[in-house]
Amino acid sequence: MAKVLCVLYDDPVTGYPTSYARDDVAQPSIYPDGQTLPTPKGIDFKPGTLLGSVSGELGLRKYLETNGHTLVVTSSKDGADSVLDKELHDAEIIISQPFWPAYMTAERIAKAKKLKMIVTAGIGSDHTDLEAANKHNITVAEVTYCNSHSVAEHVLMMILSQVRNYIPSYKQVIDGGWNIADCVSRSYDLEAMSVGTVAAGRIGLRVLRLLHPFDVKLHYMDRHRLPTAVEKELNLTYHSTLESLTKVCDVVTLNCPLHPETEHMINEKTLKNFKRGAYIINTARGKLCDRDAIVAALKSGQLAGYAGDVWFPQPAPKNHPWRTMPHHGMTPHISGTSLTAQTRYAAGTREILECYFEGRPIRDEYLIVQGGKLAGVGAHSYSDGNATKGSEEAAKYKKA
Ligand code: NDP
């Protein structure tokens, strides 16, 4: 029987909710490419309830305990005295969400002698050292597509809030002010601007589709080109390099995974190729950007704004400069963990566990690493290597 160690974010400070703002949670019937939503044999939670926090337990306890397994759930994940470090030695499966990632470094993987599978309840497995997972023959799986559209909606919200200067204007209201000039001296229309996505995968393509009705000029850069029919339908301009895309775009949104090829792709040097006054929207991963180069570009005016919900490490230390840099619209990592998305990825995690325990293959589209190499979606979208370096800084959040 297996021990499953599940690292989840803390409950709300006011306690686990006893009621919700809405009674139901709307779901699409299928994803646009024909992939089905998660298909576990059953679920033991009410869709729309808070599943991603400790008391929500991703709705897994009944299923696991009924089948004789042990479930340990904790939010304590950073520093040598964390519950994660104390419990991982005999865990067979570790589950965590990118919003509150259990950084599975090579050191931790080496200590976890019984570890067979690491599940990302969400999308983006860069918090696991994929090289070490390969070496130890550990399967890494994530719930592909579960929150791609949730993130795309967040991207759209952040583009509009930056370009139209929403957050400072909202603050005027809260502060009792009415200085219109202060609000509008950084406010523009999105219409007719050039907007480009770095990567046109599930999120990037959805962002392009959502932006199409705004009458903007759409650009994308990716390792693989989209079908000609899609390029025509959305009137897309393809760029084979980051430099070519950033030279012409007013807004650049990052939508690729973090892996050695993409780490710090936005840095002091590449920022020089952006149009002065461009906006960056990054809901993909904090480490795609060089932290200090972003701050410097906002201070110098090279960037007009930066918004996103991803940081490195997570949680971000209280003195992380992105909390206080000018013209930012940062949120904690929330875009992919709406109650709507949680319903999907909790079900997807359950599906992966059912497959694992019943000896059935995990869907190819959920696989990142298997059998000692990148597999499934991982083989398509990632590059070999490790992007967890520096994650120990996350322990500073509690100490600062
Ligand atoms: P997909 O796998 O559908 O898309 C990823 C895309 O990135 C693919 O088209 C891939 O290209 C492209 N890509 C990979 N490397 C590069 C590169 N070096 N240059 C340009 N493009 C590249 O994933 P999703 O769209 O669903 O998610 C993307 C990422 O967004 C996740 O990996 C995760 O990091 C982040 N995310 C964030 C969430 C949040 O809550 N903020 C939630 C969900 C995801 P190709 O396959 O053609 O090689």
Q: Whose CA is nearest to atom 43 of ligand 1?
A: 123
DSSP-H helix ranges across the chain: 61-66, 83-87, 106-111, 130-135, 148-163, 166-174, 180-184, 202-211, 228-234, 242-248, 268-271, 291-300, 339-358, 376-381, 396-399
Contacts of 228 (CB under 8 A, 6+ apart): none
Please state at what angle helix 166-174 crosses helix 148-163, rounded to 10 degrees: 70
Question: Ligand 1 mean position to 256 CA, how many Å?
Answer: 3
Query: Which residues are known binding-site members?
Result: 123, 147-148, 202-203, 222, 257-261, 283, 309, 333-336, 381
Instruction: Please tell me the predicted confidence (pLDDT) of residue 301.
Output: 98
User: What stretch of H or E contains 239?
Assistant: strand 236-239
Q: What is the pLDDT of residues 327-336, one digit of tens each?
A: 999 999 999 9
Sign (positive/negative) of CA torsion 209, 211, 214, 215? Answer: negative
Query: What are 125-159's pLDDT values in tens digits?
Result: 999 999 999 999 999 999 999 999 999 999 999 99
What pLDDT does residue 379 have?
Answer: 94
pLDDT band at residue 385 using 50, 70 and 90 as cut-offs: confident
State mean pLDDT over 331-348. 98
Token duo for residue 62: 């009944």
Name the residue among 352, 388, 350 with its Cα closest to residue 370.
352
Q: Output the CA torsion sign for 251, 256, 261, 263.
A: positive
Residue 395, pLDDT > 60, answer yes
Which residue's alpha carbon is nearest to atom 10 within ligand 1? 381
Give the pLDDT confidence of 347-380 residue by residue, as tens digits: 999 999 999 999 999 999 999 999 999 999 999 8
Question: What is the rounded CA–CA span in Å between residue 68 and residue 164?
Answer: 54
Indicate if the alpha-carbon torsion angle 83, 16, 341, 39 is positive or negative: positive
Query: Is the CB–ligand 1 distance for residue 124 below 6 Å?
Result: yes
pLDDT in tens, 265-303: 999 999 999 999 999 999 999 999 999 999 999 999 999
Identify the pLDDT of residue 399: 62
What mean pLDDT is predicted for residues 172-176? 97
Report residue 163: phi and psi, to 5°. -65, -40
For the segment 84-105, what is each residue's pLDDT rounded down to a tens digit?
A: 999 999 999 999 999 999 999 9
Full set of structural domains in the chain with CATH: 3-146+337-375 (3.40.50.720), 148-330 (3.40.50.720)
Give the pLDDT score at 383. 85
Q: Give catalytic residue positions.
A: 147, 285, 314, 333
CA 239 → CA 218, 221, 226, distances in Å? 11, 5, 11
Among residues of the chain, what percentage have pLDDT more than 90?
95
Q: Is there an atom of ligand 1 within 6 Å of 314 CB?
A: no
